[in-house]
Amino acid sequence: MSEDLKPEEIIKSIKPGPPSTPWMDVVSKVEAGNYCYPSQPKTLEFLGMPNPREWSPADEDWKLPENWQEIIHKGFKERLDKYRSLKVFMDICVRCGACADKCHFFLGSGDPKNMPYLRAELLRSIYRNDFTTFGKILGKFSGSRKLTKDIIKEWFLYFYQCSECRRCSVFCPYGIDTAEITMMGRELLHLLGISIHWIMDPVANCTRTGNHLGIQPQNFKEIIEFFCDDIEEITGLRIDPPFNKKGAEILFVTPSGDAFADPGTYTFMGYLMLFEHIGLDYTLSTYASEGGNFGLFTSSETMKKLNAKMYAEAKRLGVKYILGGECGHMWRVVNQYMGTMNGPADFLEVPKSPITGTVFENARDTKMVHIAEFVADLIKHNKLKLDPSRNDKRIVTFHDSCNPSRAMGLLEEPRYVIKNVCNNFYEMPDSTIRENTFCCGSGSGLNTEEIMETRLRGGLPRANAVKYVHEKYDVNTLACICAIDRAALPPLMDYWVPGVDVTGMCELLGNALVMEGEIKRELDLRMEPLKDEEEENTDE
Amino acid sequence: MNIHYLFALFVALLCIFIPYAGVEFAHMQTFFGVFIPYLAIVIFTVGVISKMLSWVKRPVPFRIPTTCGQQKSLPWIKSNCIDNPSSFFGVILRMAFEILTFRSLFRNTKSTIKEGNKFSYEWEIFLWVGALAFHYAFFVTLFRHFRLFFENTPVCIQIVESLDGLMQIGLPIIYMSGIVLFFAACYLLFRRTYIPQVRYGSLSADFFPLFLIITIAGTGIYMRYFGKVDIVAIKELTAGIFSFSPKVPENVSSIFYIHLFLVCVLFAYFPFSKLMHAGGIFLSPTRNLANNSRIKRHINPWNPKVKIHTYEAYENEFREKMIEAGLPVEKEGA
């Protein structure tokens, strides 16, 4: 983006209506700033993915393989036969338009190809041409078109302007889920060697080192120990978290983003403090050091491969079950895919909280519990000593991450926890939370710098709702339960709603935890004073 | 005006002209009154069944309901058993609400930017009202027409007729369904051409059925209230079709043949078009599955074999560093 595009300029530039040119005649231009950088050939080679090559989306010639049309046709047919969702969704859309203004990328850009039904038409028009009688006979009149290289470019642009958030699917009278369409579109592009660096690099890293960021085991341990240093400074308590410990009761897995960058790191500190506080018999793993799964944004095979490590490690270490940290898409994978792909986890036990004795019946088969469920249960049973006033400088609202809300329904648990660990909580408007939540604009592997303008536009509806509570209730903290959110929301807030910090649920929890033997807390987990200076003065 | 609109209009007009010319000039009453209806019924039946089968035979590899409410988790948290069903019964409820009341469409909002920079989402009910009116009116009208297939009108049809005719003003009894169908279809056509976001992506396949249905409803209303058609003769024809002993009476006007032909076109077109949403909704994996994949394992029939990067391979690569960092390893210094 042009760096100095001002917020009001972006809003002003949102197209008020579609152009007069029919969409099929609008050639989508690939220009610097509107595309993600492609994967490097060596990454694709390492992953064994087809057609690795040096290329740039900005080039006229994308160096597609000789028989690229045939590859797409075959790949499309294969997927139509493997997924009822794809076939049904290709057939039944009536283009009623209910989905149109539900997409954050459409709302932030006004680009009609970002309307979910039109995004699907990008693929559906080829489906009609290749697989339906009417499409073959009537051609353009039936809304079909022949695949061209320009269409491949169009797919690349628009299937990477969808964050698979599924908001459109809530409003669709048939539940047509654009995430399914986008996934298939991306898989087809992968067959031609077209994929993006920001997804494939984490996939390759995760394959080799166990986490997206490529953190090697010794470094992973070192990072966690740094957190413990900070915790010691803040609380006066030394925590010594176990790594790769055989025979622990619980394996804890969270996205590596939380180990890597602020403000996720504070959430990680919160986890460590919680486990110490309740004396949990757990272990971290350096091999399964990633809860996130960029395979979800790649292909079902890749997703399965990366996810398999959790169960493999749980089995090797002999734990009873797995506890999962705060992450959005990780929980879509755990809730909707893990048992199917990598189960049955019959070597594990039905999860039971060692502190409260609660049996997590809802995780009976996958044997994996969400930290928000786990903590909500602890609080409900009064097992945590909490001082919510330590979060008093924070006026909090909660951003439902797309996947936990629309692919799981984890709505009340995090709210229950947050309301118990801080005193000031306000909801954003109803049409922007829970199942109606807006994406951060950077989900599904789009959290990359080069498309910052697209991300800011996609994140605008979310930011706008935050702005509303920021102005109305002085909200200064946006809590979330997703590592991608914690990476994507801070720049979004800085741009649209300066003065709002982004935090994880467990960071707020860590602040509020009254730990046995701790020193008088002066600092929060960010090493900042618990109270703003002004406040302190008025207190005195 | 775009080509989609015009093409659909052209085909629809053709569908009006063909039976008119066929009956008025070529006197092909038997062809349009008997052959075409039989053909349409066969195409409809075979088409719908094979389409449904083409969906049913495809696997549902993953359990991907779109959850629109609180999950079932801890016992003290109230779960939303309809919008986030965890049981088969919940799914039945969710599907029933979806199919009978268009629950998802009911949520519809309209987004606008106010005061230059404030996004606002207002409840938008018109699409829901229009769609619901359209579908129920269509259903009732269709159901009422079954009287034409029986010598003696079955009781259930009589009941529907009397309910439908409650708003009686004079004679003949005015059936609300037909009128509502006509206006609801006109509304759907109106919004499709009026709302830019909808118009922009609309295809011939979106306009064509609306043109057909508006004309069907229009001709039906004309025949009932304005034109003097010989209803006894028509019933002779339709009951004949239904009892497989077709007779073609003489004094049936061509407007009836237009009406009938359009109905036949609609039915024959149905299985190959978006109208199959009527069947597809039952098979939509985001709606017809319970969100219980953590409770009960969902089976993917083609669950692929994948090669995972094993712990062993991992430790082999990092063993020295792990030992140095004090991390436990499986094989010391191999």
pLDDT of residue A382: 97
The pLDDT tens digits of the residues spanning B120-139 come to: 999 999 999 999 999 999 99
Minimal Cβ distance to A435: which of B69, B117, B198 = B69
Sign, Cα dihedral of B72, B73, B75, B79: negative
% of residues, chain B, pLDDT over 90? 81
- H-assigned helices in A20-166: 41-47, 68-82, 84-92, 104-109, 116-131, 133-138, 149-159
Structure tokens at A93: 């859309």
Contact A459, A447 (CB under 8 A): no
Contact A28, A158 (CB under 8 A): yes
Contact A62, A149 (CB under 8 A): yes
- Residue of chain A nearest B206, judged by CA positions: A94
% of residues, chain A, pLDDT over 70? 98
Q: Look over chain A and give the mean of its residue pLDDT values, rounded to a whole number.
A: 95
Provide the b/e sequence for A157-183 (b: ≥16 CB within 10 Å): bbbbbbbbbbbbbbbbbbbbbbbbbbb
Return the CA Rg of chain A: 24
Minimal Cβ distance to A218: which of B61, B62, B321 = B321
* A143 lies within 8 A of chain B by CB: yes
| Residue A303 main-chain phi, psi, to 5 deg | -60, -45
* A175 lies within 8 A of chain B by CB: yes
When pLDDT is averaged across residues B221-246 and rounded to a whole number, the result is 89
Q: Which of residues 126-155 of B touch A (CB under 8 A)?
A: 127, 131
Q: Which of residues 201-240 of B touch A (CB under 8 A)?
A: 201-206
The pLDDT tens digits of the residues spanning A32-49 come to: 899 999 999 999 999 999
Q: pLDDT tier at A134 (50, 70, 90 boundaries)?
A: confident
Q: pLDDT tier at A533 (50, 70, 90 boundaries)?
A: low
Return the CA Rg of chain B: 28
Angle in degrees, 0-180, between the axes of helices A116-131 and A84-92, rounded to the nearest 10: 100
The pLDDT tens digits of the residues spanning A152-210 come to: 999 999 999 999 999 999 999 999 999 999 999 999 999 999 999 999 999 999 999 98
Taking the C-alpha atoms of residue B262 and residue B242, their distance in angstroms, rounded to an integer, is: 18
pLDDT of residue A200: 96
For residue A11, what are the contacts with CB-CB under 8 A and spacing of at least 6?
A460, B113, B116, B117
How many Å is the maximal CA-CA distance in chain B?
Answer: 100
Centre a 10 Å sphere on the Cβ of residue A324 and count the other Cβ atoms it contains: 27
* B333 lies within 8 A of chain A by CB: no
| Residue A173 main-chain phi, psi, to 5 deg | -65, -15
Taking the C-alpha atoms of residue A290 and residue A309, their distance in angstroms, rounded to an integer, is: 9
Q: Look over chain B and give the mean of its residue pLDDT values, rounded to a whole number.
A: 94
CB contact under 8 A, B55 and A95: no
pLDDT of residue B116: 87
Structure tokens at B205: 């396949």
% of residues, chain A, pLDDT over 90? 94
> Looking at per-residue confidence, does B333 or A94 come out higher?
A94
Q: Tell me which chain A residues have a C-beta less than 8 angstroms from the C-beta of B297.
A: 339-340, 343-344, 365
pLDDT of residue A540: 41
Q: In this predicted complex, what is the ipTM?
A: 0.95
Contact A232, A238 (CB under 8 A): yes
For the residues of B115-139, what is the DSSP string, one character each?
A: TTTEEEEEE--HHHHHHHHHHHHHH
The strand pair at A396-399 and B109-114 is best described as unpaired
Q: Tell me which chain B residues have a C-beta less than 8 angstroms from the C-beta of A174.
A: 104, 277, 280-281, 284, 287
